Structures are given as C-alpha cells and as structure tokens.
Amino acid sequence: MATWRGATVYAQVMREIAEMPEPPTVPDALQETGASRLRINKLIESGALELREERVWRDSLRDYDFVPDSAPKLTTDQQKAWDEILPALRQETPARFLLHGVTGSGKTEIYLRAIAEALKQGRSAVLLVPEIALTPQTVRRVSERFPGLVALVHGSLPIGERYDAWARARAGELSVIVGTRSALFTPLPKLGLIVLDEEHDASYKQSPWMIEPHYHARDAAEYLAERQGAALILGSATPDLATWHRARRGHFVYLHLPERIMGHRRRIHQQANRLGVEARYQDAAAEAVTIPLPPVSVVDMRAELRAGNTSMFSRELQQSLATVLERDEQAMLLLNRRGQATYVFCRDCGYALECARCDTPMTYHRVERSLRCHHCGERRAPPETCPACGSSRIRFFGAGTQQVDQVLKDLFPAARTLRWDVDTARSPKMHFEILEQFIKREADALIGTQMIAKGLDLPLVTLVGVVSADIGLALPDYRAGERVFQLLTQVAGRAGRGVLGGKVVLQTYQPEHYVIQAAADHDYTGFAARESEYRRELGYPPYRRLARIVFSYTNQERAREQAEFAASRLRQILQELDLSGTAIIGPAPCFYSRVDRNYRWHLLLRGPDPRAALGALSPERGWRIDIDPVSVL
C-alpha cells in the first residue's frame, strides 16, 4: 500500500473501517469514511478488505427502540372475556368473537393475551388496523410485548420491505404481523389468530375504484379463519351495526367490556411520576382503577352566533383550551375536512371555483397557496380576479384543518401545534414522527381529520374539541348517521385516558339530533337500537342486503343510457326468476356525479340476496358492481 498514490488516505479508510463495531455494508463504508467507490474496490482487489455477500433483511422497524413490557393483571370484565377466548385458542378450531368495549376498556390487552397464547401453541397471529395512521402506536405495543417477532405490513411500505416481511414470515422467522388490510395475506405458517381492531371502520373495505382485488378484510378474515382453524376477534367501541346484529343472532360470541380502565396501580404511579404531576384519580384498593368516560359538553353554535361570537371556536372551547395550555396539558381538535377553505367564490356574480374534471368545489390550501380537488388531485393557483366577471372580490368560505390551526394560533400565539392529516403525513414515517412529537410533549395541540380519532392512547390529552360535529350528517347515505356517531364516539374516547382526567366539547348546529345526543351520552346501545329500527322500516342492511352498480363514462348521456338499460334488464330478471323480494332503487346520478372527467350514474338492488339477480346480468365495460357497499355516494 506504501507504493500507492494517496497511501495515507487508504490507510485512514482502513483505520475507520477497523474501528466500526461490526463489518459495514459497502454503502455504509462509503458514507462513514467518505471514500470513493474506486478506493474501496482497490482495497478489496488488493486483499486488504474482504467482500462477503450476506442476506440483510429490510425491516421497517429497524430504526425504532421498543422497551420490553410485561402483561398486567386483568380486570374482572377482561377476565370474563378472556375465559371465553382462551379455550378456542387451545382447541385450534375456528371461533368468532365480537369484543365490544368502550374506549379505553383494555381491548388491546385482550388482543396481546390472545397473541401470546397463539404463540404458545406454536401458531402465528395477524393484528389488523384500518389505517396506516394507527400502525405506529399499535406496532409499538405489540413489539414491546413480543420483541423480535413482529413485522409491519401495509401498502405504503417500499416493495422491498414488504417482500422481506413476507419472506421472513414464510420462513417462520416472524410470528406476528401488524398492518392494514393487505397484511391479512402475509403467508404465515400455522395461522392461529386474526384480530381486526376498530372492525367498524370503512377502510377495511377495498374501494371498487382502487386496484384489484376488491374485498372486505372482515369477510376475508372470516373465510381465512375458517379455513385455517383460527380464532377471529373483531374489536370496537362502536361495532358496525351489521356485526352487532350478527352477534345478537349468535354468529359471533359477544363479549362486553363496559368500563374504562384508567390503569393498573403500578402503571398509574409510573405515569404520574414520568409526567411530573399528581394523579387526579386516586388509587383504589383494586389492582386496576376504572373511571367514567369523559364528560361531553354539547355547544349549540346557533346560540353562539346569537351571542355575537362568530369564531369557529365557541366560548366554552376557548376557555377549555386556555385552561389546558395554562396547565401544560394537551388538546386534540377534530375537523374532518382538510385545507384552509372548502368553498371559493365571487361575491359579485356568485361564480364558484370548481374542478374542471369533477364539477365539485375546489379546496384552498393556505400552506401551499393552491386550490386542490380532493377527488382527482388537480391543483391550480387561486385566481386574483373572477374568471366569469373579472371582479377582484374573491372570497374564501368554509373551514378545514389548516384554518383551525391558524385560528388557534391567533387566539393563543404561544401554543405549539401539530397538524395530522393526509397533507402532513404523506408517508408511514411521517405518521410515526407526528405521533412521537406529540407523545414527547413537543406540541400542545394536535389538529387533524378522522385519523386522530381512532385508537390513540395519549395520557396527557385532557381536552378533545370537535369543531363541527355536524359534518356528514346530511349526506344522502343510509350509513351517514352511523359513521358520524362512530367518529364522535371514537374521538371523544381520546380524552381522559390518563391520570389527569379529561373532557370533550362537541360544537354543533343540531344539538337535538339523535346521533349527537347518543354520542354525548356514550350510548352505543341506545343509538344502535334507534338506528336499527330506522333500517328495518326502510329495508336497509342489516335487514336486507344491498348491491350497487355504478356506470362511469366520459359521455354523460352514455352513463345515463347504460344505467337505464341495466335497470330495464334487471326488472326482466327479477320477473323471470320470481325475485319479488328484491327491489331496484334508481337509476340516478351519483352524489358525486362527475369524478376525474367521468360522469357517474348508479342504481341499487335491495333484497335478501341481490347476487341471485346479478348472476343473470352481463356487465358491460364501464360498470362497477359492489356487493354490500360501505357507501352509496
């Protein structure tokens, strides 16, 4: 080496590599030493460095440290549920359970016990969550209990990481998979358990407008559990009405956790000491402390307007936020709309700015200073003058998460905020980072859309504010009320989960609405009974099944003609097959009548089993058939 030009540099590279704790990969050696690939190759060719080929698994969890955790003692209600599940896991026969527990009731601990038992029996487990936003906290809980045995799988992972997770699972190196619906198909040997957390969530259904295959993870999980002799646990604080109905008819073993667990004595002290606060809930003699669900205050925004308050924050919400900030606690604010303003129009002629491809209003995003269509993704700069009349009186109306952030900072300039929506979390890593920042108290308020409402356990959150609880109630969809109730109940459950307690403020223009009232009372049973009665009277699921056919064409007349042709043909089929119990609803334009240059019409088939009629129908190009649709918009 002494005869080489630049021998000193080569010697320095060798010293740096020798001092590394373990043999580096070639990219790591290049990065750490700053040497060129040419110099590294020359050292290899001379024999000074040895190049070996080893298989290195790509692991999405490699950069995260998980502290091993032990299982706490179960409460009485948890033990009752566990006593039902345990025999099924040991018998290795198919079994189906609906675990209905209020928010914070300890459903996750039951999942972890079930996973542990499956592993004890030499079998594997899959735990599904509906959205990527839920994977950070879930995979942390599971990895702390089962270190080194867990992989994360979802559609946004790099394909290499997904491939390696599948390969390791197939080889038996991994026993537990956590992920979104596609994780269900990970080739685990000897599958013993499938868990669907937040089973009510519509994200478990593959949209008919997304890439194939189209499926509902719940249905696929039932089929897979039956074939594999595995146990299936569906968990939720707000079960899908269809699932609840099936459980009442005995299709699932119904398990109920009616009380919220604030924590076990040891963990309550740990949490209080870590946060440097005194617990507002005192220890009981029992092993675990159960607490009421957080009180919910319903604010009538009509009264706020009459009182002269034109802010998007009611006086009560403003006062509650001030208290939280003064105490150095945390708040969560939900508005299920992105952007700054949801409606942009001219004050002189009334012209509204719409997407040229979708005929729907464009949303103004202040951070990017752009108008965006949330259906097709089109972007353009906001106009300075009206395209129709030339007026400069362009105004922005409606609100999104960006405006909530701005108003909060205007009211409380010292407040540190984080925004969590599709615009701020464009990758799985960003979900992790936002959640970690909030957990580490780097922000006082977390502002977001529905992704902040589900499954998060944040002990410092003492206030949840719902800026507009009415969003979604007026949609022409038979599930609209159910979806709003689920969202409000779930987000209310984020408050008061720790030693500090908490409260919820729901702002609404319809305080008397049965959905708002049921959510404020945390009354799932009352809501389910009333909603089920409406569904029974109207003949909607779970009392009848639905099939939806959407006709999508770039020519508006073509879409209408195809819809009417299909309706005519289906009437003939119903008559020929004597399916008098099946009815056709429509055809009519879809609620979103034009999306990405395609005009959309649809019709519904409603009956005991619409598939009988569809089997005799010959679909044409441009038709989309959706059995048991989660939305009819």
Evaluate whether residue 56 is within a structural domain.
Answer: no
Query: What is the pLDDT at residue 268?
Result: 46
Which residue, chain included where needed, has tokens 């939305």? 631
At 58, the pLDDT band (50, 70, 90 cuts) reads: low
pLDDT digits (tens, 9 = 90+) for 68-116: 667 788 999 999 999 999 999 998 889 999 999 999 899 999 999 999 9
- Helices 26-33, 7-18: crossing angle, 10 deg rounding: 120
- Residues 428, 530, single domain; the answer is yes
Specify the DSSP class assigned to residue 207. Answer: P
- Considering only residues 29 and 200, tell me which one the structure prediction assigns the higher pLDDT: 200
Provide CB contacts within 8 A for 34, sequence distance 6+.
none
User: Among candidates 284, 281, 309, which has minimal Cα distance to 294?
Assistant: 281
Return all residues near 163 (Cβ < 8 A) that are at least 6 apart: 58
| Shared domain check, 249 and 297 | no
**Largest CA-CA distance found in the chain, in angstroms, rounded:** 95
CA atoms within 13 A on the CB side of 630: 18
- Split at pLDDT 50, 70, 90, the class of 426 is confident
Residue 203 half-sphere exposure, CB side, CA atoms within 13 Å?
Answer: 20
pLDDT for the residue numbered 284: 40
270 within domain boundaries: no
Phi, psi (rounded to 5 degrees) for 147: -60, 135
Beta-carbon count within 10 A of 509 CB: 15
Q: Is 355 exposed, middle or buried (0-12, 13-18, 19+ CB in 10 A)?
A: buried
584: in domain? yes
Q: Clarify whether residues 138 and 11 are in a common domain.
A: no
pLDDT band at 433 (very low <50, low <70, confident <90, very high): confident
How far from the centroid of its chain's Cα atoms is residue 294's Cα? 22
The answer to whether residue 276 sits within a structural domain is no
Q: Distance between CA 265 and CA 285 in Å, rounded?
A: 9
Residue-range definition of the domain harbouring residue 567: 545-627
Same domain for 436 and 562, yes or no, is no
What counts of helices (H) and strands (E) characterise the chain? Answer: 19, 24
pLDDT for 279 equals 47
d(CA 57, CA 94): 33
Do 171 and 221 reside in the same domain of the chain? yes
Q: How far apart are CA 313 and CA 211, in angstroms?
A: 40
pLDDT recorded at residue 65:
58
Do 564 and 530 lie in a common domain? no
The answer for residues whose C-beta is within 8 angstroms of residue 382's C-beta and 6 or more apart is: 344, 353, 364, 369, 370, 371, 394
Mean pLDDT highest for which of 9-13, 357-361, 563-567?
A: 563-567
Question: Which domain CATH number covers 481?
Answer: 3.40.50.300
Give the residue ranges of DSSP H helices in 281-427.
301-306, 315-326, 401-411
CATH of the domain at 615: 3.30.70.600
Residue at 204 is within a domain? yes
Closest CA to 384 of 355, 339, 344, 350: 344
Closest CA to 490 of 535, 525, 522, 468: 522
Contacts of 241-249 spanning 24+ positions with Cβ under 8 A: 241/482, 241/528, 241/531, 241/532, 241/535, 241/541, 241/542, 242/541, 242/542, 243/98, 243/199, 243/200, 243/218, 244/98, 244/100, 244/528, 245/532, 245/542, 246/542, 247/98, 247/100
How is residue 272 written in tokens?
């209080």
Domain ends where: 209, 235, 258?
258
CB atoms within 10 A of CB 303: 12
pLDDT at 123: 96
Same-domain pairing of 109 and 195: yes
Domain total of the chain: 5
Using only the alpha carbons of the chain, give its radius of gyration: 28
**Residue 283 confidence (pLDDT) above 70:** no
The reply to whether 299 and 358 lie within a common domain is no
Residue where a domain terminates, one of 509, 535, 561: 535
What are 256-276's pLDDT values in tens digits? 999 988 764 445 445 445 555
Question: Does a structural domain hold residue 191?
Answer: yes
What number of other Cβ atoms are within 10 A of residue 164's Cβ? 21
Query: Which residues does 465 contact at the CB level (< 8 Å), separation at least 6?
Result: 313, 317, 320, 321, 331, 332, 333, 334, 504, 505, 507
Beta strands in 310-452 (DSSP E): 330-334, 343-346, 363-365, 370-372, 379-380, 394-397, 417-420, 445-448
pLDDT at 56: 63
C-alpha distances in angstroms, 318 versus 100, 105, 378?
Answer: 34, 30, 36
Q: Are residues 32 and 105 in the same domain?
A: no
The residue that leads in pLDDT, 333 or 166, is 333
- Which residue, 535, 567, 583, sits at the end of a domain? 535
Predicted pLDDT at 339:
74
Tokens of 51: 């190049």
Listed in order, strand segments (DSSP E) in 80-128 are 95-101, 124-128
What's the pLDDT tens digit per position in 285-301? 345 677 889 999 999 99
Q: Does 101 share its domain with 241?
A: yes
Pull the structure tokens for residue 342: 């949801």
Task: Flag whether 66 is in a domain.
Answer: no
**Among the listed ranges 228-232, 297-301, 381-385, 603-607, which one has the minimum average pLDDT value?**
381-385
Residues 584 and 490 in one domain: no
Are residue 468 and residue 575 in the same domain, yes or no?
Answer: no
Q: Is 451 inside any structural domain?
A: yes
Q: How many CB atoms lie within 10 A of CB 50?
A: 8
